[in-house]
Structure 1
Amino acid sequence: MFELRMSLQSLMVGLVLVLVLLSPCPGMAAPPGDDDEAFDVETYNLNTEMDWENLDQIYGDSYDYDDLDQEIEVGTVAPDTPSPASQPKAQHEEEVTLPTLPPAPVSLDFKGPGLFGPETGLGMPTCLLCVCIGGSVYCDDTGLDQIPPLPKDTTHFYGRFNKIRHVKNTDFLNLNKLQSIDLTGNQISGMDEDVFGSLTQLQDLLLADNNIQVLPELPVTMRRIDLRNNQLISRGLHSDGFKDLTQLEFLYLSSNNLDYVPTPLPLSLRVLHLQDNNIQSLHEDTFCDRHDRNFIRRNLEDIRLDSNPLNINLFAQAYICLPRLPVGSQ
């Protein structure tokens, strides 16, 4: 059965091929001959040489070769696009033209309390000469010989390592938010008496490494005072100058010319450094209360009295109320 099926398929393929060859296609047309002569497929020679010189006689007027010489015009395939000017304008809603306002003037207030702070004596604003970050003004090592005008919102002022010799009572005027002043490493030898009187928020005053002999009156809000390495003398301190500073915790007075411990001291005091002075004696009320034998000064735990002409063994009654003995020469 399989061989019979293959034979039938081969026969059908052969019949289809014969029909294709005998179909009257333009490219497969047989050459004309006598009407009585039959066309024999088996004797047709595909390799017969074509007579190209007698094509006109063979095919007659089937082809018009003159048409091939006509010029072919090449045109634009896509239709011309009209220019934007020639296109009809789309209907739009009526546009409303707003009046043009002049730009707002930009003002850099160099002379008032503006963006860069008040103008300094050097002809430029404080916050261009110094660095202002929030309420802190940093003027360290800028060659200043006086306190520059500070913005009113200044809370911390740093003027370290400059050439300032005198601090005037107008330098910190109207600075109600000022909490800290650091003038370490200048050449300060004098300060007006009421220079700090208006600073109701002042807590830290750092004046180390200067030439100060007299300390002006300080606000009662003080928490830390640093006067190390100055020329401070005992007569340069106010009588009872530290008594009312009920928030004072740190008092650094080393490397000065003090003759005695500045008493009375507030009960809030935690650290007292007096080394390298000229203190020669202590008395019973220096740290304690001779009228109250039960009195104990609990906060004062760090007292430095070394490098003074003082033998602490001779004044035992002066510190029996202390939680820790002072450091000094035995």
Structure 2
Amino acid sequence: MKMLVRVILGLFVLESAMGVPSRRARQVEFDTYDSENYDVDLDNLNLENQDIYDYDDGLTIDEPQIEIGTLAPMVDNYQAPAASLEEEEEEEVPLRTFEPIIIPSTNITGGSGVLMGPDTQGGLPTCLLCTCLGGSVYCDDVKLESVPPLPKDTTHFYGRYNKITKINKSDFANMNKLKRIDLTSNQIGEIDRDALVGLPALEELVLRENNVVQLPKLPAAMTLIDVSHNGLGSRSIQREAFKNMHNLLYLYLTDNNIDHIPVPLPHSLRSLHLQNNNIQVIHEDTFCSSKDINYVRNALEDIRLDGNPINLSKTPQAYICLPRMPIGNLI
């Protein structure tokens, strides 16, 4: 009996298996359908089609198993984050208020150690009214009526385009490091006799466009003197004023009323500008040596005498030692 049941079940399984088309049969049927209805090269299909066939071959995707149970009740366990260290410090430290710091100024005698310098006549420290950079003090166009008190370590002073009328002896007293003074375009008409001679380091003096009528005695270390556009006359320059200035390179005296060349000139001189004056005569020994015909003055190669009532061609022996002729009237 058991044998008969097994036979019947075997026949049933065999019949069922024969009724299901095989994978090969389904593949042929699909290929035939595609070739009849679409122009597709089945041999060059990508691997994605193969994946489809493999997926149809009984591959299954495991579905996630969900266990149904009792969920724990939601509890509000949220806690605010702890304050940072900076926030804690802000909460603990009270706010502070700051008062403006006033830098006290000093008088002239105590100004050497003060950053802002001594007070000017307007009550402001010099380095607040002006601009101080290192040893240079710039006081251009700030409506000064006198030279302001300067820090003792000043090396260069610029007070251009102001209303300064006089240079006093005390203006630059004890300024042992001062090398340059530039007071262009002021109203200076008077300079104390000893206002500048006591400056051991002074090398450059520029007093262009003022009302200077008398040039004071200057230190021997000068390299540049510019007193152009002033009121200098025949007696405005001291006798032999430039003789001992062995480092003098540039002497500019243009646009004055000078009637003679201020000789003797130092051998170091390179440039002499005397245009627009009242010079009428040049002597043979003004530039050269009348006693030594072989003397050559190579340094002095820039002489301007144009604008003077003088004929340079009348004294040709006066330029024989120079590297080039002066500029001026030759007729």
The TM-score normalised by the length of structure 2 is 0.69
8 Å contact from structure 1 (residues 225, 252) kept in 2: yes
- Matched residue, 2:322: 322
- Matched residue, 2:190: 190
- Matched residue, 1:129: 129
- Matched residue, 1:108: 103
Q: CA deviation at 1:135?
A: 1.0
Alpha-carbon RMSD: 2.8
Query: Which residue type is aligned with residue 258 of structure 1?
Result: I
- Matched residue, 1:282: 282
- Matched residue, 1:250: 250
In structure 1, stretches of 5+ residues that fail to align are 8-26, 28-72, 82-102
Cα distance per residue 1:33-70 (max 9 Å; x no partner): xxxxxxxxxxxxxxxxxxxxxxxxxxxxxxxxxxxxxx
8 Å contact from structure 1 (residues 188, 211) kept in 2: yes
Structure 1 position 215 matched with structure 2 position 198: no
Query: Which residue type is aligned with residue 143 of structure 1?
Result: K
Cα pair distance change 1:178/1:80, threshold 3 Å: closer
Secondary structure at the counterpart of residue 157 of structure 1: strand
Distance in 1 of aligned mates of 2:78 and 2:271: 98
Q: How many residues align?
A: 244
- Matched residue, 1:157: 157
Query: Which residue type is aligned with residue 225 of structure 1?
Result: I
Sequence identity percentage? 52
Q: CA deviation at 1:109?
A: 3.4
- Is the radius of gyration larger for structure 1 or structure 2? 1
1 or 2, which has the higher helix percentage? 2
4+ aligned runs moved over 2 Å, structure 1: 73-81
- Matched residue, 1:143: 143
Matching of residues 34-183 of structure 1 within 5 Å: 76=75, 108-111=103-106, 112-113=111-112, 114-183=114-183
- Matched residue, 1:19: none
Structure 1 position 230 matched with structure 2 position 196: no
Distance in 1 of aligned mates of 2:145 and 2:155: 21
Distance in 2 of aligned mates of 1:155 and 1:234: 33
Q: CA deviation at 1:75?
A: 7.8
Distance in 1 of aligned mates of 2:78 and 2:172: 84
The TM-score normalised by the length of structure 1 is 0.69
Distance in 1 of aligned mates of 2:76 and 2:187: 93
Q: CA deviation at 1:76?
A: 4.3
Cα pair distance change 1:189/1:75, threshold 3 Å: same
Cα pair distance change 1:75/1:304, threshold 3 Å: closer
Secondary structure at the counterpart of residue 315 of structure 2: helix
Secondary structure at the counterpart of residue 235 of structure 2: helix
Distance in 2 of aligned mates of 1:256 and 1:167: 20
Query: Which residue type is aligned with residue 188 of structure 2?
Result: I
8 Å contact from structure 1 (residues 109, 116) kept in 2: no
Cα pair distance change 1:129/1:77, threshold 3 Å: closer
